Each structure stands twice: as structure tokens, then as C-alpha cells.
Amino acid sequence: MPEFAREVRAGLGRDGQKTLPCRYFYDEVGSALFEAITRLPEYGLTRADARLIRDHAVDLAARLDGPVVVAELGSGGGAKTRWILEALARRGPVTYYPIDVSPAALAACVRELSSVAAVVPIAQSYLEGLREVAARRPAKQRLLLLFLGSTIGNFDRGEAAGFLADIRASLLSGDALLLGADLEKPVPQMLLAYDDPAGVTAAFNRNLLARVNRELGGDFAPRNFAHEARWNAAERRIEMHLRACAPQTVRITGANLTVDFARDETIWTESCHKFHVEEIRTMAARAGFRCEAQWVDAAWPFSESLLTA
Ligand SMILES: C[S@@+](CC[C@H](N)C(=O)[O-])C[C@H]1O[C@@H](n2cnc3c(N)ncnc32)[C@H](O)[C@@H]1O
């Protein structure tokens, strides 16, 4: 059984809270919907990230002397990365390895960034992709690894710390990690960012069910599930759920699974943890990184941290 089918079976077939892993949001439709989310007035996160990168790219490049090769975890379309590649390209040719599970996202990177850098797409999950980059990187070049957009927030806090340690294990001393993290802000503002009035985030969330139908022969009726964004104060995270509007039974042939949903039962599809700026430094230090610089956006609290292995 393919990995997607196994994970769907494990997440929906379990007792208690049903789940689907957020990495499966990003098929071609999901990646396009995510791009649309980044343009929503309510979703200030990507614009804050972009402002910080645009304003500090030259300073960032100046802090990394010598030849630098760039890799990015979960690059998406890589639009924000252009400023960093341009700043580094002033010193000489740059190689850029975007790592993403979405072929559509990687194709966008190649299309948009090949005029600035030699783009080598890596269609793998984060750590497998990073290990491949580590094996391919030219000797005597420093690696600048990007993990932008607060994607680190998709991990539980303990997992995030472990993930940073795993990243560190694939880096060499002196390599750098630029880590974007969304900071805690008033709850209504955070909820609106994940439940916009135009319904784009709802479509993004429901597309996961449509993808199960398309790829695994499921018979979900996505409109029978309501999009829900919740603030979990104890865990300091937004949780996205899909709530069954009525009792229903769903058959997913490709996962050899029949699932019953009670009315109001949910599938938990994503967590987006929010951070305090000093928490990033502590977490990074525990994983073996020194914080060289931290920049915070004034309009939408968001931080970029430049960490050295
Ligand atoms: C929230 S988007 C962020 C995109 C971009 N970095 C940004 O800041 O706008 C997450 C990206 O990571 C990719 N992704 C999700 N899970 C992944 C995984 N386990 N391994 C590799 N890529 C993953 C998705 O396909 C998507 O392009």
C-alpha cells in the first residue's frame, strides 16, 4: 500500500481524534490554494516574512563570507528566496536546492528562480532531501539552509526541537540556518488568518478530502465537512479541523477503509504553533545552533533568526 494510503488509514482508522497529516495538503490544487492564502489580507504572515527577508538579505549575505550554497526546506514557490539569491549572486554563481514534496511547487521554483541561481529541485521530504543535499554539496562551500514561512510551527513543540537537532546533524560546523517563526498575537487576529471570509483557507483544508477522493478512490463529500480554526491556549497553537456536519460513512477503496463519522466529529488536519522570540533562541541553542541575528517585523509580529551550526 502506498505511503499516502497507509497514513490515511492510520489517521482515520484510529480510535479517538481522527487526523490527516498536513504534508498531504500540497498536491497541485493545494499548492495553488496555499499561494492564494499568502495573498489574503487576513494572512499577514507571508508578507511579514517577505519584508524581513527583503530588508535584511544584503546584511545576511554579508554575514556569510566565502562561497555559499543555498538549500530550502518546504520551499513552496520560493518567491521570498529571490532576495537572498540575488544578494549572494553579486559575489558569484549560486546553486539553490529547493526541497519540497510538491512537484508543482518545485516547478514554480525552477521557473521563477533559474535566472538568479542554478536551481536543483529535490522532490523529497525534509530530512531525506537535506541528506541528499549534504551528499551533493560541493566541498569547501558553506551551506545556508532556509526554513521560512513558520513551517516549523506545524511540528509539536517537542518535535520541533528534535527536528532542529536532526537538521543540525546534517550540517557542518559554520553552516547557517535561517528560521522563520510566527509570533503570538491577539487571538482574533490569528483566528482570522486561518479562517478568512473569502473561504480560501476552507477550500485549502477541504481539498485534503478531495485529494483522498482523487488519489485513493474515496467518496468523501467535502461540503459535508465544515472548516474550523481553533486557538488552543495551553499549546499556543492554531488547530485546523474538518467537522462532520451530519453523521456519515466514508469508503476509501485505496486505503481499504470504511470510516464512520458522528455529527460534529472532526478530522484534525494541521497545527500552527506560535512562538515567543526568545523561545526560538533557546530551542536553537539546545539543538546546537548559535543565534547570530534576529529580526522582527513591526507590523505583523514574525521573526527571522539567523542561526549558525
Ligand atoms: C506552509 S508551506 C510554506 C511554503 C514557503 N516556504 C513559504 O514560506 O511560503 C509548506 C511547504 O512545505 C512543503 N512540505 C510540507 N510538508 C513537507 C515535508 N514533510 N517535506 C518536504 N516538504 C514539505 C509543502 O509542499 C509546501 O510547499
Residue nearest to atom 17 of ligand 1 (CA): 23
Show pLDDT as tens, one digit a residue, over the chain (309 residues). Answer: 899 999 999 999 999 999 999 999 999 999 999 999 999 999 999 999 999 999 999 999 999 998 999 999 999 999 999 999 999 999 999 999 999 999 999 999 999 999 999 999 999 999 999 999 999 998 889 999 999 999 999 999 999 999 999 999 999 999 999 999 999 999 999 999 999 999 999 999 999 999 999 999 999 999 999 999 999 999 999 999 999 999 999 999 999 999 999 999 999 999 999 999 999 999 999 999 999 999 999 999 999 999 999
Q: How many angstroms does the Cα of residue 209 sit away from the middle of ligand 1?
A: 19
On whether both 70 and 102 belong to a single domain, the answer is: yes
Q: What is the pLDDT of residue 234?
A: 98
On whether both 81 and 174 belong to a single domain, the answer is: yes
> Is position 195 within any domain?
no
> Is position 81 within any domain?
yes
What atom in ligand 1 is closest to the CA of residue 75? 6
On whether both 32 and 50 belong to a single domain, the answer is: no
Q: What is the pLDDT of residue 116?
A: 98
Pairing verdict, β 266-273 and 18-19: parallel
Question: In what side-by-side order are the strands of the sheet with 237-244?
Answer: 18-19, 266-273, 237-244, 225-232
On whether both 11 and 152 belong to a single domain, the answer is: no
- Confirm if 254 and 216 have CB atoms less than 8 A apart: yes
On whether both 300 and 179 belong to a single domain, the answer is: yes
On whether both 226 and 86 belong to a single domain, the answer is: no
Q: What is the pLDDT of residue 139?
A: 87
> Is position 282 within any domain?
yes
Establish whether residue 148 lines the binding site of ligand 1, counting it when its CB lies within 6 angstroms of any ligand atom: yes
Establish whether residue 68 lines the binding site of ligand 1, counting it when its CB lies within 6 angstroms of any ligand atom: no
> Is position 190 within any domain?
no
Non-local (6+) Cβ contacts of 95 within 8 A are 69, 70, 117, 118, 120, 138
On whether both 145 and 173 belong to a single domain, the answer is: yes
Q: What is the pLDDT of residue 126?
A: 98
Q: How far apart are CA 39 and CA 185, in angstroms?
A: 19
On whether both 67 and 106 belong to a single domain, the answer is: yes
Q: How many angstroms does the Cα of residue 29 sit away from the middle of ligand 1?
A: 14
Establish whether residue 125 lines the binding site of ligand 1, counting it when its CB lies within 6 angstroms of any ligand atom: yes
CATH code for position 57:
3.40.50.150
Q: How far apart are CA 70 and CA 233, in angstroms?
A: 36
Tell me how many helices (H) and strands (E) the chain has: 10, 13
> Is position 194 within any domain?
no
On whether both 128 and 72 belong to a single domain, the answer is: yes
Establish whether residue 25 lines the binding site of ligand 1, counting it when its CB lies within 6 angstroms of any ligand atom: no
Establish whether residue 105 lines the binding site of ligand 1, counting it when its CB lies within 6 angstroms of any ligand atom: yes
> Is position 207 within any domain?
yes
Establish whether residue 23 lines the binding site of ligand 1, counting it when its CB lies within 6 angstroms of any ligand atom: yes
On whether both 219 and 168 belong to a single domain, the answer is: no
Q: How many angstroms does the Cα of residue 74 sit away from the middle of ligand 1?
A: 3
On whether both 180 and 301 belong to a single domain, the answer is: yes
The model's pTM is: 0.97
Q: In the chain, how many domains are there?
A: 2
In sequence order, which ranges of 21-125 are alpha helices (DSSP H)? 28-37, 45-63, 81-89, 103-113
In terms of residue numbers, what domain contains 147? 45-185+274-308
